[in-house]
Each structure stands twice: as structure tokens, then as C-alpha cells.
Structure 1
Amino acid sequence: MELTGEYGPPRDEQELAAVVDITTQAFAMVAADAEGVVRKNHAAGLLRLLRHDGQVAATLTLIRMAQFLGGRSVPMIGVGGVGVAPEHRGAGAATRLFHHFLREMRDEGAPLSVLYPATQPLYRRVGYEQSGARYEIHVDASALELGERSLTLRPMRPSDEAAVDACYRRFASQRHGWLDRGDYIWRRVRTPRQDTAHGFVVEGASGLEGFVYLIRSLAPQGAVPKQVLKLNDLVATTPAAARRLLRFLGDHRSLAQDVVWFGGADEPLLALLREQTYQLKLSMHWMTRLLNVSQALEARGWPPGLSGALHLDVADDVLPDNQGRFVLEVEGGAARVRKGGDGRMRLHVRALAPLYTGFLTPRALQLAGMLEADEASLQVAGALFSGPAPSMRDMF
């Protein structure tokens, strides 16, 4: 772990108070709310900060979890709560903070890091690049009149938690780019700050087949305000469960007009609607950083029917162990990576991120000037990294 005098977790109440102040100003939060969040994250060991002349200059929150890529769960470090003290803005504090953080997380053994950017230039400087998307989905409740009541739907109970976790994991493992959630993300789903999430489950002969967490809010519409149903999570593992959940949401049409949730552009539930009575819009692109090129390539899943070898030449000016030539060999849905090879595909580790997730094709990266390769390497990479567009439901 790279914990130095300049970098590490808060050491005392004075530094913790400084993190609270930075968080309050960076995110325009009420001080009491910021303090609650910061103290909770500090108790879990999630805070890191950069010191300059003995003062706290910048801070971030790290989130240990994983991400489903190619059907396999890849350990991943999420990043949130990045803030810089106003007097240190524009002086490179965030860049120095991330240099320390990335080295610490690589030393810890994490192959990947993912974040949602407030600004892209900073994160691109330290090796992150756009690697997937989060879409906002709006459906009119009146369009959800599906005639499905064959499965039992009931309010969620505390005893359902393990079954709900397992149901989500079965579903998310087939959604390229979705999180393999840890406690931090599950708390945000179940107990969102300043909101109440109501949980409901759908049961069939095989047990729990789907669930929804919904948040109700009022939106003024004419003389009679109507509810907006924001779905913190919506999961169906069978067609019957999908229809039952949509029917349940449609049963709210006298109370609510807009039903909102997040996911990918390939949201399967939209295929059940009779008409295109929905809106799908980009919320944000998330960014990925490969901390360990070899481990990351070996950890994700690969198309089981394909085999091939790709000779990479990777540049990384922050993590020198990623620098150099690698041979990626894929067979039987798994990969092996070794040092060496001919380096026929040349790219920065930043450009490797969208190739790795399948967000951009090798030819798109070549067109953007982010990759150089011969024709044979482009074809091999195009086949190996092909697959569904990477997406994510959760914000962090």
C-alpha cells in the first residue's frame, strides 16, 4: 500500500473536519449531511486524502466491488466523492491524489477502477477513458397495462435480502458492464439518502424471480399532482416475472404518469411494450482505468466460440508495470496473458479501456487516433472484444 505522509486516510478529527468542509463545498451539500456521509465512509476505511504543507488539499472515496464483464465478475475499485479544497484548485492536487491512489489500488491487487466523471480531462490524464454508458428510461405508466397476474407479488421483507441479492446477481451477470454490488452500493439501493425505497418481490414456483425498489415523489401536473415512480432497481429473471412487474407498475397509472429507471440502451423490458411509448436518453458515460493490464485481461470473460492471439504494445506513464508488450491469448472463453510478443497493436492504457469493455471497436479507436495496428490485428481484436454494449444501472 502506498500510504505516505502526503497521502492516506484521515489521521485525526482535524483532517476529518477538513474532508467534511471540502465535501460540503464540492457538492453543495448541507454541512450536517456531508458530515454524516464522510464519517460513515471513514468508519468503513474508504476515505483517502492528499496533504500539502500539512493541510488537506484533496479527497476521494474508494468503493471495493466488482463488475460483470463477459459474464465474469472482475474485482473493481469504484471512485466517488472526489473533491479539492478551493484554495488548492488548479494546482494539480487531484492529479497527485490519483497518482497515489492508483498505485495503492494496484498494489492491493485490483485490476480495474471505474468512476463517473465530473470532468474528463483530469481522469484522462491519469489513464481513465469512457468505457460504457448509463441510460435514463422514461415510460408512461398507462403503457404498462400487461395482463399478467399469474405470479405472486408482495411487499419485500427483511428475510428476503439474501434471495434478492442472489436474484440480482443472476440477472446482472448477464448484463455486460453491470456491477457485482458490495454493501456500499446495496445501501444506496435500499436506503437512498433523503428518500424512502419501497421493495416488492415476485415469486414463482422456483422461488423469487424478480423484484423492484421504487421511490415515490410528487410532480405538479395541472390541478392534480401525480406521482413519479423512480425505480432504484428493477430485476426480472423470467418472462413471467417481467410481465408481472410491469403490470404492477402499470396498476399505478391512476396515481402516477412517469415511471423512471436506469440501465442500458438494450433494456429488455421495453420489448414487452405495445408501442414505443418510452424515452431513452443518455445519462452519463462512465470511465474505466486498467490498473493491471495482465490481470484485467485474464479476469474478464471472453466469447467461448472464439480463439485468437493479440500482440499489444501498451504505454502507461503512471503505472510503469503496465508498460510494454503483452500477448493476449484467448481460447475456450478464457484468456492468458504473457509478456513479450511483437507489439503489433500500439495504444495507451487509456485507449485500452474502451477496447477492453467493448465500448469502442478497434477501428473506431484507430479513427480517433488512439490506436495503431495492422489489418490482421484489427480483425482479431474486433472479434475478441465484440459483444453487447457495456452499460450500468448504478451511479456511485
Structure 2
Amino acid sequence: MRDCAIDCAWRRIADATYAFDGAQAEQVASVEEAARAAGLPARATTDLPLPFAVEAAVTLEGQGQFDPVRYVRGLAALIPGDDCHVFERTAVAGVEEGPPCVVTTDDGRTITAGAVVVCTNYPLLDRGLFFARMEAVRSYLVAARVRGELPKVTAISAGEPTRSVRPYRDPAGDPWVLVGGEGHLVGSDDAAPARYEALERFAREHLDVIDVPHRWSTQDGMPLDNLPYAGRYHPRARRLYVNCGHQKWGMTNATIGARVVADLLAGRDNPYAELLDPNRVSVRSAPQVARAQLWVGAHLIGDRLTSADAASAEEVPAGEARVVRDGLAKVGVHRDDAGALHAVSLRCTHLGCLVHWNGAERSWDCPCHGSRFGIDGDVLAGPATRPLERREPPR
């Protein structure tokens, strides 16, 4: 930011991990212990500059806060030149490892390169088997316009339900607070408008809220051993790299991962390369891997045994969706607010699990590996690269 003069509202601010109750206080103590072991100046307290009381907290002074959109735009503006380009809205369908590497777009065009770095939210190539080592999690945020003083700290709760608080001033100087939380595995039946409502209720209970005009969600890759992946895409890769699995801390973890990949490309040593190696073997994550595969197996088989939600598309209410039986198959049917029907195959185009309806965002989400599709089957999030098949609404 300093070297390239990127204007992204950078400032120093304290950060806190807090507990609402005694059970969460134990987790706060663990955070404090880990911070001190890392040599960080952690401070235990019960007095935070927040509009609600806490049971316990640990703070770190002098942390950084900035506008990520302005930061990324600033980075993008630095790229063009010296034969470097940014191509937006250009979806990649496949990569052949070289030399040279050949990238194929979804419209059949090709790009050749000496090396390729895959930095998609979820790796789009299955050859690294990341889908077996990561979980996809969605979480939600609301933006509340508030009166009075802003909290003088960014904060996140230690336990569930997660509640994060981030103060913000817009370009006009008006105060806002972003409240986040309500995370769950993608494709679970927990995706509902009530997620947003819970966050808005929290904001109104603890802040002097004028209104809550904005809400959105995010999706994150969560490696089962809790460390990001940055390095060679698979053990035999020589020109294909990956940077992913940032566990909701992308502004820091993605930056560290980018430095690792850049150093590998340039033939330099990096102190984090071994730690973040995508091909590492982690014994401690074995129970999590087993649990994740049981989850996938339960959905891959069990979802095919469940009954349909409606006998025909005529039973689907406006703004909602139902699973409708169509002969021996099941079809996902959504009726939009105007009354039009949208029907798709429920079979995810990644590995064949059946997608579930996400009522909070009106999408079809895969519970196995996190792919998401629009109401007409268009891919919203990978690892799937092909849309769901469109179907005629069963009558």
C-alpha cells in the first residue's frame, strides 16, 4: 500500500476476540495463550469499547483495517503494462500443463503461459484432490447505518454463534457497522433468510441503528488441517501452482500465499513454503478428513433416498423452491416472484451429488464440495465448471 500509494482507507485499530459466556471464555484463554506463544502483545480484558458487555476478551493493539475493494482495484491498476493484462469475465474451463501451459476458456479460446497459478475461491481442477481436503462454508453479513460513536475495535466472538463487528465510515463520513456470522457448510439445510434476520436483530439490540440497507454472503474454503494451500498444485506439478483455502482470513493468508508462490516461481526460498505446501501430509487432520468423507457419502447416497417435496410444479409457492418427482428422477423447481417456473436437474455437474435449495440466496448448492448454481443452473461457484441441466417443470 505504501510503496504503490494505494488509497484504501488503511488505518491502525485494535482487534479483539471476545466471549459472551463462560464456555466461550475458555476459547478466549486459548487464543491468548497462542498469541503469547507467538510473541504477540496480547492483553486479557473484560472492558472492550463495544456497545455490549463481554465475559472475557483478548486484544491485540495496532492491527490493520482497510477497504479490500479499493485495495484490489489499486492492485489491478498496477498490472497492465510490460505484456501483463487483466481479462475480466473470462471463465477458465481447463488447464493443460506444459511446457507451455495451455489455458482453455469456456468459449473455447486458449492462452499459453510458462506457468499457471490457480487462485480461484475453490480450486477448479480436480487433479489436486482439494475437494477431499477442504470444506466449503458460507457466512453472512449485514451493513447497519448507525448513530453516534463507532466501536473503537474490530471484534469477533470466540464461539458459536459467531458475531463479528467491524466499524466503517463511508466516503461521506457516515458511520456504519458490519455484523457478520451465521456460518454453515454449503448445501446444508441451514441456508435460510433467518440467517440475515439474526444478524440484523443482533445489530439492533446492541447498536443505535438507523437502517440495515445491505446484506450479502461469502463463501470460504476451509482446509481440514486449518492451514492454507500455497505452492505446487500436485506432487508432480512443475508449472502449475495454487493459492487457496484462506479460511475467511483472505487479506492476510492470501497475501502470504501469494508471496510463497511468487518465490517458488522465481526460485527463491520462502520460510512459509513448507508449512503451506499443498501436498503436505497431515496426520492431525485425519479425523476431520474421515468426518468430511462421511458427510459426503451420506449426501451422495442418502439424498437419493429422500422423497420429493411436491407432487408437481404447481405446488411451488412464489419465491420458493421444491424438489418435484419427474418419473424416476427428481427435479429442482423454483417459482420466481413474477410466477415464472425454473426447473433444473438436481445432479451436481462436479461429482454427482444432489444439490439443495438455498432459500437465503435463491440458489442450488451442493452439500458435498460447495458448488453453487443459479435458478437456471448457471455456475455461481466451483469446483463445478458446467451448469446444471435445465428441465421442463413437471406438471
Q: TM-score range by the shorter chain?
A: under 0.3
Structure with higher RCO (Cα < 8 A, 6+ apart): 1
Name the one with the larger helix percent.
1
